[in-house]
Copies of this chain bind each other. A is one copy, B any other.
Amino acid sequence: MGEPQEGVEGRIKQLRDEIDDIDRRLVGLLNQRAKLALDIRELKPQVNRALYDPRREQEIFESLRAANGGPLFDDNLRSIWEVVLQVMKEL
């Protein structure tokens, strides 16, 4: 039994390394996104725009749905972006 179990453990380790790699890329992209959001926030007062724009949020959720090929559900993405948008707003 030892050999196949070790094989499975090795495979789990490998998949986790792939997840760690994806997480690092996610962190990089989220920080890029945060920089862009800060740039926009700086520009808005110049054109008398409110910092919170519910229509823009709707547009973002639509764009997530359009990009979603699964296995995540649209509602899963919505839950994640609710936190992402909240965090960016409070930055």
Contacts and interface: CB of A to CB of B under 8 A. Distances in A.
How many copies of the chain does the oligomer comprise? 2
Interface in A37-74: 37-40, 43-44, 46-47, 49, 56, 60, 63-64, 67-72
Interface residues on A, range: 35 or more
B30 A63 contact: no
Interface of A: 4-5, 8-9, 11-12, 15-16, 18-20, 22-40, 43-44, 46-47, 49, 56, 60, 63-64, 67-72, 76-77, 79-84, 86-87, 91
9 contacts: A8-B43, A12-B43, A26-B30, A27-B68, A28-B67, A30-B77, A30-B80, A34-B71, A82-B83
